[in-house]
Structure 1
Amino acid sequence: MKIVLKQHFGAILAAVSFLTRLPMPLWVGSHSQAIAKASRWFSLVGLLLGLIAAASLYLLSLLVGQMLGVVLTLVAMILLTGAFHEDGLADLCDGFGGGWQTERKLAIMKDSQIGTYGVLALVASFNIKVVALLQLPLDLACVSLIVCHAGSRAIAGLVAIYLPYARTSNNNKTPQKDALLPLKNRLILLIFGGLPLFLLPLSATLGLILIWLLTFIYLIRLMDHHIQGYTGDTLGATQQIIEIIGLIYFTAYYYQLT
């Protein structure tokens, strides 16, 4: 029992080390196979990040007001995660927008330099998050951060079920390509990704699930059309897009109530 618990705890810490910049003990696995096994816990890490973001926004808003609190919270989360998923969003926009053939799109996405499409995507993403969180009352803004961080990482983790890995090279940073996705792994992703939904009224939950489902289907088709599969960048972009769509939904839902 102790060995099993230690293995699960080690896998969770490996997931944290992959998705954040938090320092981990030396015994925590960081090789591709360890991260692949840990990928089932990505939505749990998303839930923890959402709780951190919500706590940060609440405390900072009490100190400096919600406007500055929102900006500082988003900057803090970028520092905490190393802009891991934002990088994927920028690369996807550069690759899908700047390439004509699949090989060229993949090459652009792997290039470390950012292009016009990527810059515009990051500017738009940050501004949408800021405005959405400012239009929500503080308590709902905090809840939306928890829901969107957890849910977006769960949904991103499901992409590999429906698409093959697009690159032929083994030199990559995508653990899901080596991970089997049995029912147990999917359930773990969905359980921790869906737990925050219990904070919402049933009508809000059903609407958000529908919007996320339609967005997920669109993204799967978009990846299949452009590169006939997925990469680490498309997974990061999926997380960011699902998070943004979630925040927009919360804003629309709140305005319908008021």
Structure 2
Amino acid sequence: MIRLLRIALMFYTRIPAGKNLPGDEQDLNRATGFLPGIGLIVGGLSAGAFVVSSLLLPHGPSVVIALIAGVLATGAFHEDGFADTCDGLGGGWSVSDRLRIMKDSRVGSYALTGLILLFLLKYALLSSLAPMLLPFSLMSSHIAARLLPLMLIRQLPYVRVDELSKAKPVSKGISPLILMAGCFSAAVMVAGLYLVFRPGNPWLILIPALPLAVSPIIAAYYRRMLGGYTGDLLGAAEQLGEVAILAAIAAMAAL
């Protein structure tokens, strides 16, 4: 289990996890089940950056530093997928066109616009929350949003052929047991965070259920546009999940 966690850290983050570990596709598939745990680590680093910076800086700059910490922890892994997805789905007229555009390392207008709007929305949502609610919001959104890639991998076929694929690999299938373990671990972690931070609204403990409601919609859209998923689409789903969860938290906080 520790070995799979290290593989997940090496693949999904820039956090040092020791020397390169030998592994095959099955190891990556199993390590993908640790995505909610990776979210706890990345979200914890982001929340820690907010807490420390808020001791010296106003609320707004502290939120920006928290977002930067999350990007640095993952090496913009999911943001890169979101940008490529914006370019591919926005500029391609056929499946082959979309795959070709998403494979291109250049940043297009759709990617640039999408990233700007994404971070503006994250900043606006986080800035609208009380400082005491920020650590819970950052950590729980990172945890629960990473359930979306797990669900999409289970629901959709992998469509990118190897000769078009980028250098980085992607999980091409997970078992129902891995999916259930990921969902259970996310629920336990968010419940634990709720008990630690006491954010107030009891409905916040149901945050891990949001990906269950959103994943069929995203899966249907991906199936229509590409017939399945790619690594870039999984990254985009994770980012959309973060925004959806932060929006839900902001809405509940306003009640």
Per-residue displacement from partner, 1:150-184 (whole Å, max 9, x unpaired)? 0111221221111100122264434321x4x2232
Q: Identity of counterpart residues, as a percentage?
A: 30
CA 1:57 to 1:158, structure 2 compared with 1: closer, same or farther past 3 Å? same
Distance in 1, Cα, partners of 2:70 & 2:92: 31
Residues 91-110 of structure 1: pairs in structure 2 closer than 5 A: 91-110=84-103
Query: Are residue 154 (structure 1) and residue 153 (structure 2) matched?
Result: no
Contact 1:10 1:29 in 2 (8 A): no
Contact 1:97 1:117 in 2 (8 A): yes
Contact 2:43 2:70 in 1 (8 A): no
State the match for 1:4 in structure 2: none
| More displaced 10-residue stretch of structure 1: 37-46 or 84-93 | 37-46
| More displaced 10-residue stretch of structure 1: 222-231 or 37-46 | 37-46
Runs of 5+ unmatched residues, structure 1: 1-7
CA 1:187 to 1:80, structure 2 compared with 1: closer, same or farther past 3 Å? same
CA 1:209 to 1:9, structure 2 compared with 1: closer, same or farther past 3 Å? closer
| More displaced 10-residue stretch of structure 1: 222-231 or 68-77 | 68-77
State the match for 1:255 in structure 2: 254
Distance in 2, Cα, partners of 1:66 & 1:32: 43
State the match for 1:68 in structure 2: 61
| More displaced 10-residue stretch of structure 1: 54-63 or 223-232 | 54-63
State the match for 2:82 in structure 1: 89
State the match for 1:35 in structure 2: 28
State the match for 1:52 in structure 2: 45
Per-residue displacement from partner, 1:76-119 (whole Å, max 9, x unpaired)? 21111111000111111111110111110111111111111111
* 176, 181, 193: which one aligns with 2:186: 193
Runs of 5+ unmatched residues, structure 2: none
Query: Are residue 128 (structure 1) and residue 121 (structure 2) matched?
Result: yes
Residue 146 of structure 1: how far off its partner (Å):
0.9
- One-letter identity of the residue aligned with 2:156: L
**Count of paired positions:** 246
State the match for 1:5 in structure 2: none
Q: TM-score, normalised by structure 2?
A: 0.89
| More displaced 10-residue stretch of structure 1: 107-116 or 165-174 | 165-174
